[in-house]
Structure formats: C-alpha cells, structure tokens
C-alpha cells in the first residue's frame, strides 16, 4: 500500500518550452502533496506544499509563476515548469500525505529527472 506514482521518470526538453510532471497517489487519497527539488549529491529542498482545491504554498525563493502547481483531486497533483531553462534541470520529487493520517508519514514518488537543453 501507500504507492505514489510520478510521471514521467525522465524528460528532456528544449529551452523555453514547458514541462508537466504528474504525481498520483495510487491506493490512498491525499489532501496534501509536496514538491521537492534535488540537485546531485544534495538533499531534498521543499519547493511547495500543494493542497487539494486550493492554491499551493511556495517556499521562500521559489517562483510561483515559474513552477505552477495544480492539485485538482485527492489523488493527483501536477507541477508545470514553465519556460524551462538549463538551470531548471534537476531531479523533482513529489510526496503525498494520506488523508486522515495515522502515522503522519509522507510517501514519495520515484522522481522525475528533467534535462533542459
């Protein structure tokens, strides 16, 4: 149980294009999902907290117009990197917090590797 699916696992795009990453909780509902960014050999940095049916809360220094987050249902959140540039190349990971959490645990997706040419 508690599986989080993230798609795509790897995407290459040209500079200036937009890329959408999906995060789905497969066997549970999640009112809250999180989006992280991870650079090579570094830890996870929280970008934003996504709540179903409301606007995402962005961490300081994260451009909300650059990283659009939509959490339209209890099982799906999307991150769109708009007008991507090479400096946006990174590993993006989502996590989901089960509804009515018993253990208060975030379950993570497998991550999406974004390469912007």
Applying CB under 8 A, the residues found at the interface with other proteins are: 4, 6, 32, 34, 41-44, 46, 49, 91, 93, 95, 97, 103-111, 113
CB nearer to other proteins: pick between 8 and 16: 8
Q: Following CA atoms 33, 39, 44, 50 in sequence, which dihedral angle do they give, to the nearest 10 degrees?
A: -20
Phi, psi of 19 (to 5 degrees): -130, 135
Q: How far is the CB of 109 from other proteins (least distance, A)?
A: 5
Smallest separation, CB 116 to other proteins (Å): 17
The least CB distance from residue 98 to other proteins, in Å, is 11
CB within 8 A of 100, min separation 6: which ones?
A: none
Nearer CB in complex with other proteins: 13/108: 108
**CA angle in degrees (0–180, nearest 5) for 15-19-24:** 160
Closest to other proteins by CB, 67 vs 107, is 107
- Nearest by Cα to 81 from 64, 97, 93: 64
């Amino acid at each position: 149980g508690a599986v989080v699916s993230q798609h795509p696992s790897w995407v290459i795009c040209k500079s200036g294009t937009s890329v959408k990453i999906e995060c789905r909780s497969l066997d549970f509902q999640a009112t809250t999902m999180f989006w992280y960014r991870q650079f090579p050999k570094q830890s996870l940095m929280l970008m934003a907290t996504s709540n179903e049916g409301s606007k995402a809360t962005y961490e300081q220094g994260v451009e909300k117009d650059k990283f659009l987050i939509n959490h339209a249902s209890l099982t799906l959140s999307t991150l769109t990197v708009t007008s991507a540039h090479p400096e946006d190349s990174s590993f993006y990971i989502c996590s989901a917090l089960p509804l009515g959490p018993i253990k208060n645990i975030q379950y993570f997706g497998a991550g999406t590797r974004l390469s912007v040419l």
